[in-house]
Structure 1
């Protein structure tokens, strides 16, 4: 059975509840009915465990977040995916994403990136509350140990989200701040170094891994909850970040060792790439967010679908990403797509990496009983089709995650049930390959890790004899196509410090002209003004957070 998703609001975490504590007037002493008291949670072991479970979710802080159920970690399944802040996609109707794409981020204007700071620290406070009071709960010591480990994992995940977005952050330890505390104290707003933040996260994950169940997420009762594998996999990710040029706070050997530990835990790749994102139980999934009917997320099929089917285009893939999928010349050879190659341009969607077909809807793709038509004039899924305001600006539509068996018409009570995979085994293989290549160059183990992923996609193995630099580029391209739309690209181009190149490229789409039976393909700019500056390597802390600290909290560099 799946764990409960009832969202528990703790009275002490709501600001107005704290503000009322000094009032004696009887008419103000009204017991709230929309939240559960602290005493109730600590006196009921089942309720306390529900409170811990609900820390896997956060609070809705912005419009168009978390339709159906509260948000989890990162962006996940929302209307605008995190991918639409990168060179993977643009959000067709903006929804506060273009401010990031166009380099207009400011402390007063953070777009959809403005909720990470406050939601993360709220969740950390809630974890700290549970860790502080768990000793008061009547429960077996063995059960308490697992819940403590889960709380440490959740808290570490929140800090991982903070560090990878802001760099230096405040480590609050186990403190549970109250409204009557001295909220202007310097210590409360003192940032740690990036290395200190990462070391703290790693320590918390090590402690969590030691007590969490070792089974992977094929065990039914663990679906959606932390395991030893999840803790060690998140450790692998943060140590990979730490070793990267932007962070410079760890070693590649540490990152390789962390990934290798997870590789020995029995995870394997799911047989079929496309169906992986529709299933809730797989030997590849290490940590995921689950949804059921009645507790759904944004209905992907209509929000991202082609306008000719009644869809809204949503997160429209960019040509920048499409060009990253290789062309398979034969069983042994794959080459980069090349716009100067007349054969490639004449039929640009032929013989591509199979992950392209599983991830992107393109002109001519079979979908729901007919072919996608983005050509002009007259294409059903172009601006000449119905609902032309919902036609993709890029000429592509999202296929990854989308389940054709779920309806597009009136989907609200039945669709939106796909899992969001936070961490999967392919990422661990890619983490290992990248770190080990930096440690020792392209040895056999690096080839094995990458080729295992490519073989699943029916792609040829990488050519033998690559240099370390050539392998580095191959691994980066492999991450780009394997992990597309999964919230990795935003962080990868920053940690590699190549964002000044990739994020200053125009946001390209495709223009397809039909003349009789002939099609002509030409790149076009789908969103103008795309821009990235050095300061954008880190997000700005919202101005309101700086002001509420009495200006003691230091802003991210150069904002």
Structure 2
């Protein structure tokens, strides 16, 4: 990926923002596309724009519009969306422009790639052509998947539509007034592009010996590993691979099989489980679950030792490592020189079970409402700063109760204090210090796709397809996956996870447990907003009020009072995002989703 970034410094060919420039280079950029044929760096620059436009975010954005978190920033667009301002004109989760821009670059590249002279050596040129073409197909699958996630939906006529499926570049003579393809047609395109990418790309980039050269290239005359490694070796790590595309395919299949979409697609839960299993079988199934994968963001020695493009055991794809303390400055409590922006809710805190594995509302849990953070799932303290805890091992105690003496306390007028009684810990490094006198920064990366997500994809789909303990011919079941994830978290280890054992014979109960585990493991990673919608939860659940806790102290005794913090005002059509208002106004053939 560093190679891509270096390339982009040299080659920024087609501006992203201006539609005219996207279709045809502006006058001052007076080199035509044909120039790419003899200049590989020019050609790669076009494809590199699709990497620049990848949709992944390393900050909790859409989580702020769910029951998991609120923001203390009154101008936050996700706060506005969740409280009644989500429209087809004002849509902070829109993917329309960015994804379509990326697809335009990809289509331009695919239409010209076969004419590029990647190397004067024809065999090496052929390998470069395969690699880059494979990346392009895989990137198009990603971009289309995110378009479906944000804009696929049912029309007022009862048809499940996706987006216009553009597989050819547009120019000034193109017909832009095209209808949306069906959701199924878009899923078919994703699967087709994924298959093309998987066929052309190696499973992973990395240096190999001469005896490991794929037969395809041996037949072309490649006998020297240095020639192969020049194209597919370590220097290419960080770019799209076959393994990553397999994971994207599993994500798309899960979306299509989900309740919100299944009536309009042919993708089954069994299909979704099998696609996820393809990814998981490569690491040995549940035995490959990374022991420290649930704290990937703060595994400091692991992060420090990451070689360029290499991945920890938990990560399928990640961004480059960067040195910063921006997340910490945004989200540490005020006493730690942060703005405290993301405030986890009481709703999320209550979703963490007890150490014995039972939900807190179960009679067997041992939950004490007067000591609510005792004997809880260790992930609670990994992910959330609660009253009386610290941001890090060397920081001061954070007091969020009303008796606090600084702006860490709930609802202080500073504008930086918590609204819920909680601060964020997940994604943050405790060894950063935003204090301007020190400004200590540390290494971070965005986990684009984690193995834990694919494990949870499999568990969800396998439970629906074969029940909690069925495996469809694989060596592990939904039950096996959830047991491994909970064991890794350290819950239920003293009683053989009696709660899990009590629900493993019931698909509905297991479904709720799987969804809750997904909520906990993937919190603050921009998953829940979309999960709630693809599950088609009840409107009441979609509008569950974001809650917090007021902690008072009287004569040294703490009392905990639940408080409502922020109402959610989603309408019954808001399971599916809108097509942008301006696009529907411009193009008569572009149907809007129902309700918008």
Question: Does the TM-score normalized on the shorter chain lie above 0.5?
Answer: yes
Match of 1:286 among 303, 306, 316: 316
Query: 2:272 touches 2:458 (CA, 8 Å); kept in 1?
Result: yes
Match of 1:447 among 479, 487, 492: 479
1:323-360 CA-partner distances (Å, limit 9, x unpaired): 110011xxxx3211239999521111111111111111
1:37-69 CA-partner distances (Å, limit 9, x unpaired): 6455443213433442442222xxxxxxxxxxx
User: How far, CA to CA, are the matches of 2:293 and 2:380 in structure 1?
Assistant: 11
Query: 2:343 touches 2:422 (CA, 8 Å); kept in 1?
Result: yes
User: How far, CA to CA, are the matches of 1:479 and 1:314 in structure 2?
Assistant: 23
Matched, 1:9 2:12: yes
User: How far, CA to CA, are the matches of 1:411 and 1:427 in structure 2?
Assistant: 39
Aligned length: 520
Taking only aligned residues, the RMSD between alpha carbons, in angstroms, comes to: 2.9
1:435-481 CA-partner distances (Å, limit 9, x unpaired): 11111211162221111111111122421543111111111111111
User: How far, CA to CA, are the matches of 2:70 and 2:81 in structure 1?
Assistant: 10
Match of 1:357 among 352, 357, 381: 381
Matched, 1:557 2:594: yes
1:433 is matched with: 459
Query: 1:308 touches 1:385 (CA, 8 Å); kept in 2?
Result: no
Give the 3-state SS of the residue equivalent to 2:4 in structure 1.
coil
1:511-545 CA-partner distances (Å, limit 9, x unpaired): 11122422111111122x31222210111122122
Query: 2:332 touches 2:391 (CA, 8 Å); kept in 1?
Result: no
**Unaligned 5+ residue runs, structure 1?**
22-28, 59-71
Distance 1:413-1:54 versus aligned 2 partners, 3 A rule = farther
Which has the higher mean CA deviation after the structures are superposed, 41-50 or 199-208?
A: 41-50
User: How far, CA to CA, are the matches of 1:318 and 1:121 in structure 2?
Assistant: 35
Match of 2:168 among 175, 178, 184: 175
Q: State the TM-score, normalized to the length of structure 1.
A: 0.86
Query: 1:359 touches 1:399 (CA, 8 Å); kept in 2?
Result: yes
Matched, 1:122 2:122: no
Match of 1:345 among 347, 350, 369: 369
Distance 1:104-1:327 versus aligned 2 partners, 3 A rule = same
1:413 CA displacement: 8.5
1:266 is matched with: 283
1:251 is matched with: 268
1:396-415 matches, within 5 Å, as: 396-410=422-436, 415=441
Distance 1:430-1:17 versus aligned 2 partners, 3 A rule = closer
**Unaligned 5+ residue runs, structure 2?**
119-124, 153-160, 208-232, 471-476
1:412 CA displacement: 12
User: How far, CA to CA, are the matches of 2:23 and 2:47 in structure 1?
Assistant: 25
Distance 1:239-1:16 versus aligned 2 partners, 3 A rule = closer
Query: 2:294 touches 2:489 (CA, 8 Å); kept in 1?
Result: no
Q: State the TM-score, normalized to the length of structure 2.
A: 0.81
Give the 3-state SS of the residue equivalent to 2:511 in structure 1.
helix
Distance 1:49-1:30 versus aligned 2 partners, 3 A rule = closer
1:356-395 matches, within 5 Å, as: 356-368=380-392, 369-383=395-409, 388-395=414-421
1:77-476 matches, within 5 Å, as: 77-78=58-59, 81-94=61-74, 95-110=76-91, 112-114=92-94, 116-139=95-118, 140-167=125-152, 168-184=161-177, 189-215=178-204, 221-248=235-262, 249=265, 250-266=267-283, 268-273=288-293, 275-278=295-298, 279=303, 281-293=311-323, 299-328=326-355, 333-338=356-361, 343-368=367-392, 369-383=395-409, 388-410=414-436, 415=441, 417-443=443-469, 445-460=477-492, 461=497, 462-464=500-502, 465-476=504-515
1:20 CA displacement: 9.2
Distance 1:238-1:175 versus aligned 2 partners, 3 A rule = same
Query: 1:307 touches 1:387 (CA, 8 Å); kept in 2?
Result: no
